[in-house]
Structure 1
Amino acid sequence: MDVHAGVKLCLTCILASLLLACTSYPDEGTGGIAENYAGSEFSPVMPEEPLGPEHGLRFDWKLAKLHLDSLVQEGAQWCFPAAVLQAQEKQNRIARELEGGLWIDAANDIVIQRKKLNDLELRLDYVLSQATCAPPQKGQEFDNMMQVVEQVYHLLNVDNQFAYDSVEVNPKYMGHLAEAANILKPHPSIRLSVTGHADATGSSEYNERIAKGRAQQVKRYLTIFGLEPARIDTHSLGEDLPLYEGDSPGVRLTNRRVSIDVIADQTSTPQQGVSR
């Protein structure tokens, strides 16, 4: 049995012990690669609480965290550091939603997180079948690049809502795109994956098309601001995986957006000839 399969077999046993825990978040400044990453101290069930549907979400959050931790233990933070950073920050977001009682929002984010972790696992399995993920030789260079990844990720995933039936980028987000392009120009190894989203108004075919148009419009402005087109991939999820559930004007506005992943997979060279 390989290491990854063994870790998966352990998840249920580990969960049984973790469900009994009752502590708090780490102190500020002790979050590791993702500053506010909620670690195993986050308890999925509080002892004084009656059981309810929210506990299933907390259980799912813990499963996702254990999945992410197992990928990190196998070296994902070295082969795919940007993906790990963003997955950790997504775990933080879900934890905050759970603590705030935002059950539907947490459920949406858990679906997104599971998909991203499954994709990361497939990529990692492929790399580890031929090599191993090793820490970078130049620690300061790696740290500097991860700061760029985090800065760009936060810069491009806010204030990008679109008007109804429109692919036009709003002026505030246009400034974010220009700033991100300037940050990324000296770092050619960093790429972007831009996914367009639509609200639930309209047909599925139309929403798929307009969401794709939003992603392509973001790519267009990034290239105008100086990034090579080959560094930017575009995708569309249409109305699938909304950021929030509901049909109010505010929720629909928020769901008309792009989500952007920052990809920096080649920060360290895998040691060839070493397999699992």
Structure 2
Amino acid sequence: MDVNLGVKSIITCLSASFLLACTSYPENGSGGIAEQYTGSDFSPVMPDEPLGPEHGLRFDWKLTKLHLDALIQEGAPWCFPAAVLQAQQRQDRIARELEGGLWIDAANDIVIQRKKLNDLELRLDYVLTQATCAPPTNRTEFENQMSIVEKVYNLLNVDNQFAFDSIEVNPKYMGHLAEAANLLKPYPEIRLSVTGHADASGGKEYNERIAKGRAQQVKRYLTIFGLAPNRIDTHSLGEELPLYEGNTPGVMLTNRRVSIDVIADGHSTANQGVEQ
């Protein structure tokens, strides 16, 4: 993919020293103007404007947007529609964080977005060696499926899921799991990939173990609520790829979580069973 080779060759990571002075995790759970941002681009840097970490992050955001746009042009929405939908939502989230001045949060999400896009690119490259990605024949059915994907993704990727040093699901999140399971029952072609996470307290091995336990516990409850176990994969990242950086109680609470990808069958001309 020549377009992406050019993009990848110039992707750079900002030094952590640029970000130490930046604040994160907005007070009272409010993102301020970050929550109101609905645009898809940013104003250019003026010649007399001093450069700061936000400019490097905005450049990184543009690079991930170029990468995503290139995958879309190659047909990714038809082979991997759920992955593209979730990547677009994550891209918008990063834009809101940048507009609201949440530099550390944006930097974390950019790292996650890069990994997800690289994984999507590898899967798309493999599929395109054997097939083409074509729009679905039944557009209404496809749009209904994507509506369910979006609802389930938003239901399951929320804050405040687990208590400290625990794999037990918080009661409110339990309700989200039940609602998501009910939404998914009529759509057996949709699967879930559940990844467990831990906060930065505790050792690496322990964090890996408790994160895995959280993912497995979420799978257990989803199966209790009626989903077949073979529709749910579980993974663990321990304390790696935190949603937010820091050690305040609010940040630690948010990083004790599972992240869930909603996976829908693709629409390649060679294999209607290709999955994300």
Whether these two folds match at TM > 0.5 is yes
Q: Which amino acid aligns with 1:125?
A: D
- Between the two proteins, the alignment pairs up a number of residues equal to 243
Give the alignment's TM-score, normalised by structure 2.
0.84
Alignment of 1:228-243 (within 5 A): 228-243=228-243
Deviation at 1:88, TM superposition (A): 0.4
Q: Which residue of 2 aligns with 1:50?
A: 50
CA contact (8 A) 1:134 1:270 kept: yes
Alignment of 1:184-263 (within 5 A): 184-263=184-263
Deviation at 1:54, TM superposition (A): 1.4
**SS state at 1:193 partner:** strand
**SS state at 1:131 partner:** coil
CA contact (8 A) 1:38 1:91 kept: no
Deviation at 1:192, TM superposition (A): 0.2
Q: Which residue of 1 aligns with 2:66?
A: 66
Q: Give the 3 Å change call, closer, same or farther, for CA 92–261 of structure 1 in structure 2.
A: same
Q: Which residue of 2 aligns with 1:8?
A: 4
For structure 1, the 5+ residue unaligned runs are 16-35
CA contact (8 A) 1:197 1:257 kept: yes
User: Distance between the aligned counterparts of 2:241 and 2:220, measured in 1?
Assistant: 24
Q: Give the 3 Å change call, closer, same or farther, for CA 259–44 of structure 1 in structure 2.
A: farther
Q: Which residue of 2 aligns with 1:108?
A: 108
Q: Give the 3 Å change call, closer, same or farther, for CA 9–250 of structure 1 in structure 2.
A: closer
User: Distance between the aligned counterparts of 1:9 and 1:164, measured in 2?
Assistant: 42
Q: Which amino acid aligns with 1:207?
A: N
User: Distance between the aligned counterparts of 1:206 and 1:215, measured in 2?
Assistant: 14
2:166 is the alignment partner of 1:170: no
Q: Which residue of 2 aligns with 1:33?
A: none
User: Distance between the aligned counterparts of 1:227 and 1:117, measured in 2?
Assistant: 28
Identity of aligned residues (%): 77
User: Distance between the aligned counterparts of 2:106 and 2:181, measured in 1?
Assistant: 31
Q: Which residue of 1 aligns with 2:183?
A: 183
User: Distance between the aligned counterparts of 1:147 and 1:226, measured in 2?
Assistant: 20
Q: Deviation string for 1:93-131 (max 9, x for gaps)?
A: 100111111111111000000000000000000000000
User: Distance between the aligned counterparts of 1:215 and 1:129, measured in 2?
Assistant: 33
User: Distance between the aligned counterparts of 2:124 and 2:99, measured in 1?
Assistant: 31
Q: Give the 3 Å change call, closer, same or farther, for CA 110–123 of structure 1 in structure 2.
A: same
Q: Which amino acid aligns with 1:67?
A: H
Q: Deviation string for 1:220-273 (max 9, x for gaps)?
A: 00000000000000011100111111111111011100100000033x24257x
CA contact (8 A) 2:159 2:254 kept: no
Q: Which amino acid aligns with 2:133?
A: C
Q: Which moved more, 1:151-160 or 1:137-146?
A: 151-160
Give the alignment's TM-score, normalised by structure 1.
0.84
User: Distance between the aligned counterparts of 1:10 and 1:44, measured in 2?
Assistant: 23
Q: Which moved more, 1:153-162 or 1:219-228?
A: 153-162
Q: Give the 3 Å change call, closer, same or farther, for CA 37–236 of structure 1 in structure 2.
A: farther
**SS state at 2:192 partner:** strand
Alignment of 1:124-135 (within 5 A): 124-135=124-135
CA contact (8 A) 2:130 2:270 kept: no
